[in-house]
Amino acid sequence: MARPVTREVKLKSGFYMELRRRGENRGIKIWRETEQQIQMAMKNYENMYDVHYVGEVKNGKVIKPPKAIKQPKKAK
């Protein structure tokens, strides 16, 4: 087994969303260059995962709040 990471991960500038399996607390972050690309990716993944919009990141900091992009409605 490997040791756990001890320092923060530096995020690239762009737009991020987090994918989680239904009912889980941890997920993976997905990066896209533009807002339009992240919206298309959110639409593709919404059927399989819980999709959470993280926001726009510049210089390792989230600058755009999560409510800036409307998340697609989940089908019941």
53 or 65: which leads in pLDDT: 53
What are the pLDDT digits (tens) for 33-52?
999 999 999 999 999 999 99
pLDDT at 19 over 90: yes
Cα radius of gyration rounded to whole Å, the chain = 13
pLDDT band (50, 70, 90) for residue 57:
very high
Range of weakest confidence among 4-8, 23-27, 63-67 = 63-67
Q: What's the order of all strands across the beta sheet hosting 28-32? A: 28-32, 14-20, 50-58, 61-62
Close Cβ partners of 38 (under 8 Å, ≥ 6 residues apart): 15, 16, 17, 30, 32, 53, 69
pLDDT score of 10: 85
Residue 23 has which token pair?
A: 């009912």
Q: What is the mean pLDDT of residues 2-28?
A: 87
